[in-house]
Amino acid sequence: MPVVTREEASAAPRKPAEHIPNCVTCKTRHLSICAALSSPELVMFDQLVQHREFPPKSVLFEQGAAADFVFSVSEGTIRLVRLLSDGRRQIVGFAIKGDFLGVGLESHYEFTAEAVDTARVCRIPHHGFETMADEKPHLLRKLHEIASRELHHSHDQMVLLGRKNAEERVAAFLISHRDRLARVSNCTVTIPLPMSRSDIADYLGLTIETVSRTISKLAREKLIVVVPDGVRLLDPDRIAALARG
C-alpha cells in the first residue's frame, strides 16, 4: 500500500463543504409559514426562495403592481400603505418578523409595502409558492392560520377606527404592538417604535398633532415614558384598560 506523506495529504484537494440551505438554518422560520415544513421540504423550499434586504424607505412592492411574489419577513418593520383616490394615504398595518405578505385572491397587490427600517425578507415567486402549497396540505393549513390572524387584526382595526377616542386608539396601538412583538421576541415593557408618529397617525386615523399630544399626556400621567426609538410602559394594566375603552 502506498504511503501518503503529510505534505501530499495537505496538498490533496478537499471535498467541498456540503451546502446547507438558508431555510434550514434560518433562526426565524419557526415564526413564519416555514414552520409547517419538514427539513427535506425546507431544502425544496430553499430552491424557490430569494433572500433580499431592503434599506429604510425602500419599496418592496407597489399597490396595483402584478402580485408576482409573496414575502416572508425575517427582520425589520414594513409599513403597508393604501393610497386613496384623493391622493391621501392610509396605513393599513405594520408587518414584523414572521409576517407573510402578498397572498390574496387578487392578481395585483392591494397595498404598497415600504421598509421602515432595514428589512430582510424571503421573496418567493407566487406561482412556485402556489404549486408547493397545493402539494403540501399542511403548508396550506398554515397559510389559512395566518390569513385568520390577519382577518382578526383587520376586525380590531375596524373597531379601533370606529369606536375609540384618541387616547384609546393610541393605547390600543401600544398594547397591540407590544403583544405582537412579544410573540417574536422578549419585548414586554419597552416597545420599539421604528415607525414615525406620522405613520402612527395615518394608521390610527388621527392627525400627527393629536398623536403627539396624546403620547405627551400619557407620559404626564406616568403611564408611559418616551425613550429613544420607542416607549416604556410604566403602568401596563392601566394602559390595557384604557385600550379596552
CA distance 159 to 201: 16
Higher-confidence residue of 86 and 154: namely 86
CA distance 28 to 46: 14
Higher-confidence residue of 102 and 245: namely 102
pLDDT range class, residue 6, cuts 50, 70, 90: very low
- 123: which strand partners? 50, 71
CB 147 within 8 A of CB 92: no
Cβ burial of 89 (10 Å; 0-12, 13-18, 19+) is middle
pLDDT the model gives residue 155 = 66
CB 137 within 8 A of CB 145: no
pLDDT the model gives residue 16 = 40
pLDDT winner (highest mean) among 38-52, 141-155, 162-176, 214-228: 214-228
Q: Does residue 4 carry a pLDDT above 50?
A: no
pLDDT the model gives residue 14 = 45
CA distance 143 to 112: 21
CATH H superfamily, domain 22-149: Jelly Rolls (2.60.120.10)
Query: Mean pLDDT across the chain, nearest whole number?
Result: 84
pLDDT in tens, 167-209: 999 999 999 999 889 888 776 678 999 999 999 999 999 999 9
pLDDT in tens, 217-234: 999 999 999 999 899 999
Q: How many CB atoms lie within 10 A of CB 4?
A: 9
DSSP category for residue 209: H
Higher-confidence residue of 16 and 150: namely 150
CATH class of 164-244: mainly alpha
Q: Does residue 92 carry a pLDDT above 50?
A: yes
Q: 31-40, 71-80, 123-132, 199-208 — which is least confidently predicted? A: 31-40
Higher-confidence residue of 151 and 100: namely 100
Grid coordinates representing 183 are 410573540
CB 223 within 8 A of CB 233: yes
pLDDT the model gives residue 143 = 79
CB 128 within 8 A of CB 136: no
pLDDT the model gives residue 204 = 93
pLDDT in tens, 8-40: 444 444 434 444 457 777 777 777 888 788 888
Q: Kindly report the length of the chain.
A: 245
Query: CATH 1.10.10.10 in the chain, residues?
Result: 164-244
Q: Which residue has the cell 463543504?
A: 17
pLDDT the model gives residue 46 = 86
CA distance 33 to 72: 8
Query: CATH 2.60.120.10 in the chain, residues?
Result: 22-149
How far from 18 is each of 14, 21, 111, CA to CA, in Å?
A: 12, 10, 40
Q: Does residue 238 carry a pLDDT above 60?
A: yes
